[in-house]
Structure 1
Amino acid sequence: MKILFATSEAHPLIKTGGLADVSGSLPSALAHYKHKVRLVLPAYRAVMERLPEKSLKQVAKLSVGGCGREFEAVIWQLKAGAVPGVDVPVWLVDIPALFDRPGNPYLAEDGADWWDNGERFGVFSKVVAELAMDRAGLQWQPDVVHVNDWQTGLVSALLSVETQRPKTVFTVHNMAYPGNFPHSLFAQLQLPESLWNLDGVEFWGHFSMLKAGLICSDWVTTVSPTYAKEICYPEYAYGFEGVLQKRAAEGRLIGILNGIDEHIWNPEVDELIHSRYSAEKGRVAGKQRNKAFLIEELALLNGLSETRIQGHLADWLQAPLIGFVGRLVEQKGIDLVLEVLPELIEQTPANFVFVGSGHKSFENALRDLAQRYPERMWVYIGYSETLAHQVEAGADMFLMPSRFEPCGLNQMYSLAYGTPPIVHHTGGLADTVVNATDENMLAGTATGFVFYDPSRFALKSTLLHALGLFAKKRSWQKLQKTGMQQAFGWKASAQRYLALYVED
């Protein structure tokens, strides 16, 4: 098969979240089965600046209409293997007026959405549709176009009015981002009038690029089986429950669990951690060395002297270390964590490490607690890929109390690194973590800790349960090892996508 995979971000070229991890891994997994895959994304300044000039080749040029203006889009091809971790050819859509700017793919440097995001991704989607119909002179028409989230949802709508078109698959990574814009954008982009109706892209008088993907694609997938069920209910659907219930009734909405890149997230070969280890070899000693390294690094960053650190290190290594890596927003449950954190520090021997950024109020609250408990809690505000790996390897357990989580990847990374996760029973967290009940421990199936009510009381109770089991070293090591033996690579998920691509 020929597969065109369209996305707004892909690791290692550009990343703001889990979409990039999936877009960087799934195309490679599909190509592993000898299919011809092309990855297409915008030629952001941050991408173009990091690529060696000789790695790019101009392969096409086409004109595309924007909001009352015409753009010339240059298509650059990045060869597979030209950048480590990029295993398929990449087409970069270069429209300087839309993508050659500072900031990340969606936000300006001041943290606000780019004012013209609707036009930017509307025009990008129009280019993808032209590529999909082989109207750019590349002599390459895909059998399937796989698009992701609202930024490329319009592609499915544009292809739905074409004859002899490729099949379309739309993956929802997070329903919380609907890509809603005024009707005026629809008109200015000169989109087919036949798409503006209740069964098209119109959503309460607005133009929704998310709805375009949900309603116009041949298949709609989301990133875990549980989330596919959850988004049919109002509390998770953000107003789209009618559309999703319709697609589910048609048998066209399915959940396929994301995988993780086992070459990148693997403690046996991970070059970003201090000491490598595996489930079978060096697990206990390796995690202790990583724990010492992580604590020393973060304690120094938080202003502790080397003398003070060395004076406490032995005690810190004995105490359980709980890690958190993620966005500091309510969705991730950070407000619940902040409610119970002082009590846990006062009442238990646990220490904590936080890596992330988000709402300023949560960032400031974590900083204040780190100053109040400088020998029990360490904070890094910002994103660091290196620290993310080091927390997975060095923490004893991983905290992920998300109110909702379409799939989640960190809990799977944690399992791979022998760092039992503590999760809320939702979305992909429910599909990947087996609760450490007495029965599951006895059966040898437990891999982490699950709470079922997103409340401070349930979170604290589960944390206390985890800390109690941590004190039982033999049981804890069994829990770690069971988690590390789980298979969360892309093989099974890629095969499910490939089966879907050939279904009518």
Structure 2
Amino acid sequence: MNILFATSEAAPFSKTGGLGDVCGSLPRELYTLGHRPAVILPAFRQVYQAGLPIESTGISFEIPIGQKRVGCQILESHLPDSAVPVYFIENHDYYDRPQFYGENGEEYRDNCERFVFYSRAVLEAIRQLELGTELIHCNDWCAGLIPAYLKTLYAEEAPFDQIASLYTIHNLAYQGSFWHWDMALTGIDWKYFNWRYMEFFGNLNFMKSAIVFADTINTVSPTYAQEILHPPLSCGLEGALEHRRNDLFGIINGVDYAEWNPAIDPYLAPNNYDAERLSIGKTACKEALQREMNLPVNSGIPLVAAVGRLADQKGFDLISRVMEQWATEKEVQWVILGTGDPKYHQVLGKLAAEHPDKIAVRLEFSNELAHRIEAGADMFLMPSQYEPCGLNQLYSLKYGTVPIVRATGGLADTVVDVNAESLAEGTATGFSFNEYTTLALSEALNRACSMFADKPSWHKLIQTGMRQDWSWSNSAREYSNLYKRTLAQARQGVLS
């Protein structure tokens, strides 16, 4: 099948989070299954900084945006170590900026125009490049207008009248909601600006448009697909989602084990390990991490880590409160890596200054250090308020670092809680809790620390986690089946 990934991010060309990982890995796996995937991105400034060869296709065209016409060029490259082509829509006025979506906590004022342009340029590129696209896999709000265009402005125009659309919601909280007069930029008839289609509380909403018009919809975990049908995780879109619930699916993201594998991870050398060489290698990684973070070197003390965006959504209000309590009561070390809300920079920095022998905080992002933390930590915290999929818990399983998670979204789908039944069956892989409270997180940590002291049980728990297979090969097969369903759904149509 000819599949075009429409996305604002695809690693290694552009990435701010999980979206970039998915769209940089899934197409390569689909190629191995016999599909013919391609990826199309805005040519952000960071694309040119990726250090990969990019060439001009020689194709340029103009797109109508409101009352004006705006031009672009199409560039081309490939996903590394693959035959998957990547196309870039180059318009420096829109995309040659310091960041992807905004700066200093403020979104770019013309984001609607930038991604209206992107959506229409994707469709024109299909025609100009003669891609023979059968299905467009649209990702998150930035590509949300593409399904709407296919069912409205381009519905009776070849080759678009034969193209199906799958829309993947990576995070429902980011919807692409804009002033109602921006509807004029789209070129879509104003008759679709109403509560049934593209309007949401008086605004033009890209994500709602995609939910309404796409042939099928999916999220990045089965549990999240159910959670978003109801408040609060529906973020106001429960009506649109309920209407499409029979076309809504959940597929867990995969892991690229070529990058996240302690046996071959270059950032761990010479202390690489696998499930069979666990004890020596992981102990060496832990002691190396303790030295790097200026913590006392002691393999017998539990080392708890968290890596990611320092935000309420990621549970850092719970983490910081538990750290403050435990720092004076427990013999536990903490390592935190990430950036985010300034209040957490202040709180975590203060805790590290007050307890330098127990708490190490790096207010930055370092991919290399993130790998070493996954390898060196004993436990990894993800007490998220919500988590569409999550990847760090999957990395942690592979690295023999026991995840401690709140049972929401993809965390509930991927971590099997330690209890009498799961221990007896040999299926336990971590610790989970339900209530979003400091007490619940503290109790889960206490359970983990108690088992940490029981080395045979702890070793068995780690081994079970390391032998899990969360590779993209499994997820790609599920997507392949969903693509077939989507093509069938497209023949039926979704508008009434």
Match of 1:390 in 2: 372
The reply on whether 1:10 has 2:5 as its aligned counterpart is no
Question: Does structure 1 retain, via aligned residues, the 8 Å contact 2:116–2:185?
Answer: no
Give 1:49 shift: 3.2
Residue of structure 2 in register with 1:436 after alignment: 418
Task: Write the deviation string for residues 256-303 of structure 1: whole angstroms up to 9, x where unpaired.
Answer: 1111111111111111224211112x211111111122222222xxxx
Q: Does 1:97 align with 2:89?
A: no
**Comparing 113-122 and 174-183, the one that deviates more:** 113-122
Q: Distance in 2 between matches of 1:342 and 1:72?
A: 55
Partner of 1:302: none
- CA distance in 2: counterparts of 1:333 and 1:47, whole angstroms: 31
**By how many angstroms is 1:67 displaced?**
4.8
Q: How does 1:466-481 map to 2 (within 5 A)?
A: 466-481=448-463
CA distance in 1, matches of 2:419, 2:25: 33
The equivalent residue for 2:50 is 50
Is the counterpart of residue 155 in structure 1 residue 125 in structure 2? no
Deviation per CA, 1:447-484: give whole Å up to 9, x if none: 00001111011010110110000000000000000000
CA positional deviation for 1:160? 1.1
Q: 1:159·1:165 contact (CA, 8 Å) conserved in 2? A: no
Alpha-carbon distance in structure 2 between the residues aligned to 1:273 and 1:66: 50
- Partner of 2:70, secondary structure, is strand
Of 277, 280, 290, the residue aligned with 1:295 is 290
Contact 1:56 1:79 in 2 (8 A): no
- Report the CA distance shift for 1:399/1:70 in structure 2 as closer, same or farther (over 3 A): same
Which whole-Å CA distance do the structure 1 matches of 2:58 and 2:278 have between them? 48
Which whole-Å CA distance do the structure 1 matches of 2:23 and 2:144 have between them?
15
Q: How does 1:73-222 map to 2 (within 5 A)?
A: 73-80=72-79, 84=80, 88-102=84-98, 104-108=99-103, 110-132=104-126, 134=127, 136=128, 138-161=129-152, 162-163=155-156, 164-222=161-219
CA separation in 2, counterparts of 1:451 and 1:371?
A: 30
Please report how far the alpha carbon of residue 488 of structure 1 lies from its aligned counterpart in structure 2 after TM superposition. 0.2
- 8 Å CA contact 2:57–2:74 kept in 1: the answer is yes
Aligned length: 479
Looking at structure 2, the residues matched to 408 and 231 of structure 1 have their Cα atoms a distance apart, in angstroms, of 16
3-state SS of 2:310 partner: coil
Q: How far apart are 1:149 and its partner, in Å?
A: 0.6
How far did residue 393 of structure 1 move? 0.6
Q: Which moved more, 1:382-391 or 1:409-418?
A: 382-391
AA paired with 1:403? Q
SS of residue paired to 1:26? helix
Name the CA distance, whole Å, in 1 between partners of 2:316 and 2:148. Answer: 37
CA–CA distance in structure 1, aligned partners of residues 344 and 376 of structure 2? 24
Q: For residues 160-201 of structure 1, what are the alpha-carbon distances to aligned partners after superposition, in whole Å with 9 as ceiling and x for unaligned?
A: 121323110000000111110011111133333343222211
Q: Indicate if the aligned counterparts of 1:149 and 1:210 stay in contact, CA closer than 8 A.
A: yes
Distance 1:76 1:321 in 2: 46
**8 Å Cα contact 1:60-1:75 kept in structure 2:** yes
8 Å contact from structure 2 (residues 12, 50) kept in 1: no
AA of the residue aligned to 1:270: D
In the other structure, the counterpart of 1:304 is none
Residue identity in the other structure for 2:397: L
Shift of 1:204: 1.6
How far apart are 1:87 and its partner, in Å? 5.1
Q: Deviations over 1:29-74 (max 9, x none)?
A: 111112111101110111123345x542324211012354321110
**Does structure 1 conserve the Cα–Cα contact (< 8 Å) formed by 2:54 and 2:75?**
no
Partners of 1:49 and 1:434 lie apart in 2 by 40
Q: 2:226 aligned with 1:244, yes or no?
A: no
The CA deviation string for residues 112-157 of structure 1, in whole angstroms up to 9 with x for no partner, is 221211111111011112234x2x2x12221110001101010110
Consecutive unaligned residues of structure 1, counting only runs of 5 or more, are 300-308
Greater shift after overlay, 260-269 or 185-194?
A: 185-194
Match of 2:491 in 1: none
TM-score normalized by structure 2?
0.94
The answer on whether the counterparts of 1:272 and 1:390 sit within 8 Å (CA) in structure 2 is yes
Percent of aligned pairs sharing the same letter: 40
The question of 1:261 aligning with 2:256 is answered yes
Indicate if the aligned counterparts of 2:3 and 2:134 stay in contact, CA closer than 8 A: yes
In the alignment, structure 2 segments of 5+ residues that lack a partner are 489-496
Once the 2 structures are TM-superposed, how far is the Cα of residue 438 of structure 1 from its aligned partner? 2.2
- Against the structure 1 CA distance between its residues 59 and 417, is the aligned structure 2 distance closer, same or farther, given a 3 Å change threshold? farther
Which amino acid is the alignment partner of residue 113 of structure 1?
E
Deviation by residue 1:394-452 (Cα, 9 ceiling, x = unmatched): 10010000010011111011001110100001000000000011221122110000011
